[in-house]
Structure 1
Amino acid sequence: MAALSDQLLVFTILGYLIAMISHAASYAFSGKGAVAAISRPARQLVTVGAGESGSDAPAAVPPSGSVPPTGDVPARSTGRAAIAARIAMVATVLATALHLGALVTRGVAADRLPWGNMYEFVLTVTFVGAAGWLYLLFRWPSVRQLGLVLTLVMVLLLGIAGLVLYTPVVPLVPALNSYWFEIHVTTIVFSSGILLLAFVPAAMYLMRAGYESGKRSFPYVLARRSPSAVTLERLTFGLNAFAFPIFTFAVIAGAVWAEAAWGRAWGWDPKETWAFISWVVYAGYLHARATPSVKRNVVAWISILGFLTMLMNLFGVNFFFTGLHSYAGVN
């Protein structure tokens, strides 16, 4: 089962890679239509590409069907672009299914939940992000243009997991043999996956906002087919607001577990310190988002900074620091 899991991971990366290339092809094939749309008068653009509702501002998590087809591209894509988009969707679904298979077989081989080391943790976090992306995609198809960024992140993280972080199946270290393993690590994994997903619209928002302000240079032009800046910003907020309470519970559960295992709830271990830094940044994001005087660009950058602190906690702490959490299998 362990060998099968390794093979499924290879096919999973290939699946996400095919999806990424297909998203890029769909974007490229529709470029001619985008240029034509930009050159048309504003009244003609509204007639062809605007949503019928007249507004592209959904709720914090947009209700079904409320996100209109936004951007400067006509709603009807070229034939080749549509085919590439369908291939990207199918490849993403298949890759996510293979991803789940790699996790399940890994868990069966280890006879435990498959997130006992850094390699397994990355596999699980990326799966949560991919599954969450499919949920958004099937409910609000207009966000499909974000698939290029999402699949790129998947290929990079899973490639690092397979090439750098890989660890053979081994039993849990004694420190993890506790029922708190299921509680603390599960909530950390789930919240981290949602925060990973929130990074995508946050990054795209900055490009789309620049594009809507008149910037047509790289990288702003990459956002010409994305949902509107308002939609991306509110999607970022909805995902972060959903994940933050879960992440907060995970940090508290970790402190309770530390009290039971090590006799202290908090000792400023490197992992604990960076978890606290991430919590402060995301709390700052929510506070800034609720403050009208803070510009939305600044809010988006805070969200991206939060994601970078999560990456530091995931990779940097395990590679560059030693502490009580040094059981990732890479030291």
Structure 2
Amino acid sequence: MGATDLANLSDKLMLTTVVLYIVAMVSYAADLGFGRRRAAAEAAEAADAGTEAKAKVLVGAGGADAPAGGSASGTGTVKADADADAGGEEEAARRVEWARLAVLLSVLGWAAHVGTLVTRAWAAERWPWANMYEFLTAIALAAVTAFLFVMWRYKARFLGAFVMLAAVVALGVANIWLYDGIGPVVPALNSYWIAIHVSAAIVATGAFTVGGASTILYLLKARQEARAAAGGAGFLSHLPGADALDRLSLRVTMFAFPIWTAAIIMGAIWADEAWGRYWGWDPKEIWSFITWIVYAAYLHARATAGWKGRKAAILSLVGFAALMFNFFGVNYMFSGLHSYA
């Protein structure tokens, strides 16, 4: 198979990936929607059970009239309970089907996503993250990979709709505005360090994306819980508690931060080999360091000052915003040695 055929196969696998991710995103959303309905149904059933128990107590206190009325009531209660159980089982089965479909499509999309980069690398005979199209495609793959791990490790399937949305948007931007044909790399990138430094940056960025999604959901969930305490209700009632989302964001950030640190250190070593200096105050270097500083402050504040909740979440989002600006803003707004856009 020639380079042109491999490049065409890569483009077709990219289209397959996007379609699978879109359907997976819809399936995750449906899973969340049915979860909300099921929670509401369970709450209603619990309320009905309490009312029924109270009615039985009152009937029992009625003396001789109780058996005659109680028999008909008991028959109706059994029938109602059977109907409720059947409806609940049907709802649960439907929800499991949506969940299984979403996970299956995510795994299939992930496999097609890997194939997209592998075939492109094979066609170009180099590592497939030498331009913005390839880099953003790889970051989306890292984010989906991080989500699949978090879903398996922490039962965080609720993140699926949000991470898949981010992946679809990223791949859409990559294909519509950033697409670039297969070609040779610029001399500065023709090094084995691209497989080390850039790979670490991609993995860390993908993990930070999952952590950012968890942080945003935490803020929304905390607001919903406050409204619920005041007598209101929210559409996020089916998600885990705000504290659980806060802890999940912390765990993902603790995983990503050392990798981002290693990426910066390895980038400095590569810069010395390529340009004869470890640090040159290039815009990419500056914003990578700013991102590191913010995330370091976030972890330090949580570990020493006891920060958690809203204050920590805002600091985490500042770090994620710096990360996104480092990727998009620096590459298109500034000129420097790292401007490969």
* TM surpasses 0.5: yes
Q: CA shift at 1:222, angstroms?
A: 3.7
Task: Identify if the C-alpha distance between structure 1 residues 108 and 216 changes in structure 2 by more than 3 Å, giving closer, same or farther.
Answer: farther
Judge conservation of contact 1:258–1:264 (CA < 8 Å) in 2.
yes
Give the corresponding residue for 2:58.
none
Give the corresponding residue for 1:61.
none
Cα distance in 1 for partners of 2:311, 2:244 equals 16
Task: Identify if the C-alpha distance between structure 1 residues 265 and 75 changes in structure 2 by more than 3 Å, giving closer, same or farther.
Answer: farther
Q: CA shift at 1:268, angstroms?
A: 1.5
Cα distance in 2 for partners of 1:11, 1:174 equals 33
- One of 92, 97, 108 as aligned partner of 2:106: 92
What amino acid sits opposite 2:197 in the alignment?
Answer: H
Task: Identify if the C-alpha distance between structure 1 residues 38 and 301 changes in structure 2 by more than 3 Å, giving closer, same or farther.
Answer: farther
Give the corresponding residue for 2:30.
25
Cα distance in 2 for partners of 1:244, 1:221 equals 33
Percent of aligned pairs sharing the same letter: 43
**Superposed counterparts of 1:264-303, under 5 Å:** 264-303=277-316
Cα distance in 2 for partners of 1:121, 1:84 equals 32
Q: CA shift at 1:79, angstroms?
A: 3.3
What amino acid sits opposite 1:172 in the alignment?
Answer: V
Q: CA shift at 1:95, angstroms?
A: 0.7
Alignment RMSD (CA, Å): 2.4
> 5+ unaligned residues in a row in structure 2: which ranges?
1-5, 51-87
Judge conservation of contact 2:147–2:159 (CA < 8 Å) in 1.
no
Cα distance in 2 for partners of 1:307, 1:40 equals 42
Task: Identify if the C-alpha distance between structure 1 residues 263 and 76 changes in structure 2 by more than 3 Å, giving closer, same or farther.
Answer: farther
Give the corresponding residue for 1:59.
none
Structure with greater Cα Rg: 2
Judge conservation of contact 1:289–1:296 (CA < 8 Å) in 2.
no
TM-score (norm 2): 0.80
Higher relative contact order, structure no. (Cα contacts within 8 Å, ≥ 6 residues apart): 1
- One of 128, 132, 152 as aligned partner of 1:114: 128
Q: CA shift at 1:322, angstroms?
A: 1.0
Q: CA shift at 1:247, angstroms?
A: 0.7
TM-score (norm 1): 0.83
Judge conservation of contact 1:207–1:222 (CA < 8 Å) in 2.
no
Cα distance in 2 for partners of 1:238, 1:299 equals 13
Cα distance in 2 for partners of 1:215, 1:321 equals 46
Q: CA shift at 1:193, angstroms?
A: 1.4
Task: Identify if the C-alpha distance between structure 1 residues 80 and 41 changes in structure 2 by more than 3 Å, giving closer, same or farther.
Answer: closer
Cα distance in 2 for partners of 1:222, 1:174 equals 52
Cα distance in 1 for partners of 2:202, 2:89 equals 37
Give the corresponding residue for 2:180.
167
Aligned residues: 296
Task: Identify if the C-alpha distance between structure 1 residues 285 and 76 changes in structure 2 by more than 3 Å, giving closer, same or farther.
Answer: farther
The one-character-per-residue Cα deviations of 1:294-317 (angstroms, maximum 9, x if unpaired) are 342111122122112111111111
Cα distance in 1 for partners of 2:215, 2:126 equals 35
Shift >3 Å, 4+ stretches: 36-42, 74-79, 214-217
The one-character-per-residue Cα deviations of 1:170-214 (angstroms, maximum 9, x if unpaired) are 111101112222221121111111111211211111122222333
Give the corresponding residue for 2:154.
140
What amino acid sits opposite 1:96 in the alignment?
Answer: W
Judge conservation of contact 1:269–1:324 (CA < 8 Å) in 2.
yes
Q: Which has the higher helix share?
A: 2
